[in-house]
Structure 1
C-alpha cells in the first residue's frame, strides 16, 4: 500500500465515522495545519471548513455517518498534509507552506568507504563506520556539512564569497574557502584530529579559535580536557588497495594519501576505466600515475614539485 493509499484510508475512516481516537486526532491536527500551509481562495476554504465541521459534529454528537465528499483537488491537498502529519511521507512543510531544506545523510559500514560529490563540486571521501550530513543544495552565502561520526577526507571547491564549514562533535568546527583536509572524529576515540593536505583550515569550538592549520600540519583535540595541540604531520607508510575500482576513486584516493592535486581534462570521461592492484605510499605519486597512464593509455603532465598533475588525451 502506497503512502497516498494509506492516507486516503485514514481520511475515509474519519469521514465515515470509523476512525479510532488516534486517527481522529491525526485528522484534527491536519485540519488546523491546513489553514496555514495550503494557499486557496476564500470560497473553497469556507466550503472545506463547513464540510469538515459537519462531519466532526455528526460523529461526536449524533454518531452519524457523513456522506459528503471533498472536492477532488482539496482532497488531494488534504491527503498530502495528512501524510505529512502522520509521518508516513517524506514531505516536510514549514508554517509558511515552503518545503524545508532537504538533507542527505550518508553512512558507511566496516571496511567500506564512499565518495560523495557535493552540489558545489566539492568531494568527500567517507571512511569506514562514518556518517556525514549535508544539504542537497547549499545556501547562497555559505556551505555547511556535518561530520556526525568517523573519518572523512574533504577536497573543497574554492569559492571566495562562500566559505565552507564542517561541524564536528564536541562543538568543534573547521572553516575554509578551498582546500583539502582529513578529519577523524570517531565517538569511541578520546581525540578529534584535523590534518591539512593543502591550503589553510581554521579550527575552533564554541569558545574560541583553536588554530589555523596549513599544509602538512595537524590539530589534535582532547575531548576530555578540551585542549588542543598543533604539530607537523608524520605520514605512516600504508597500502593503497584497489579492487576493480573506478579511476575517479583511484585518483581521489591518491589525492588524499599524498596531499596532491589531480585535474582531468574537461570532457574526458574516466568512469569506465577500472583498476585492480596495490600501491604503497612509499612510492612516489608521479610514478603511480605514470603506471596508470601506461595501463589505460592516457597522458599525464606534472608540475616541477610533483604536487600538481593533469590527466589528458592527445
Structure 2
C-alpha cells in the first residue's frame, strides 16, 4: 500500500464511508502508532509539514454549516484528523518502502562456482552454483534469519536453544531449526522445492500451514503450484563433523540429541560436568559415539530397542 492509498483509506474512515474491514484495519494501525519509532529525514518532514498546512488552511476556509460559528474545538478536531491521516500515512509509507539495512549481506555464486559462508553464530552455509543468499552480518539476540533467494545450499547450523534459525525462500517456504544440518533446493524456474535433512530435525511450512517435520535422512518435496508436500526416506546426502573441544557431557548430549533425533538421559546429575575432547562424524551411529564417550569417563550406557532412547550411568 502506498502513502496516498493509506491517506485515501484513512479519509474514508474519518468520513464514515469505510467498510467494516477497512475500519478494523485503520483502528489496528492507529493502535500501533505509539509503539512505532518513526524517524524521517529533514526534507521528508518539510513535505509533511506543507501537506498539513494546506489541509488546515482548506478546513479553515470552509463555511460553517447551519450558520454556526467556526469554533476552536472544530479547528482542533480537524487538525487532529489531519494529523492522524498524515502520521498514519507516514507509518504505512515507511513500513512498505523497501529499505536495505546496512547490516545485510548478499552472496551470489556464478554458474560453476561454490562458496562457503560462515555466519556470525558459527553456522556454515555451502552455496551451490547460481545461488543467492541474504543474511545479516550479526544476528538479532532472539532469532537467526536468512533468505535463500535462489539455488541450492547446505546449512550446518550451530545449536542455540534460545535462538531458533529460520531459512526463508522466495517461494514462500520456511525452514525452522535450533541446530542441525540440511540441504535446500529452491530455484525460481522450478515448480518444486526440496528439503533434505542430514542431521537433526527441521520444520517446514508455507504461509498457510506446517508441511511437516523432518528428521535425519528424510526428504520433503513441495509443489509450489499445486501446494502439496510429500515426505520420504532418503539415503544420506553428506556427512558432517561433530567436534567437541573441552565440551561438558551435557553439551555433548544436547548436540547428539539434535543430530540424531534421540533422547539421552543421565542416571546421575553430577555427570553433566564431565568434559570431553573428540571429533566424530554423522556417518557414525549414536551407539558408536556413546560407546567412545562413555569409555573416556569409565561410564556405561543402555539403549532402547528402537535405538531412540539412551541412558548413561556409572
TM-score (norm 1): 0.48
TM-score (norm 2): 0.48
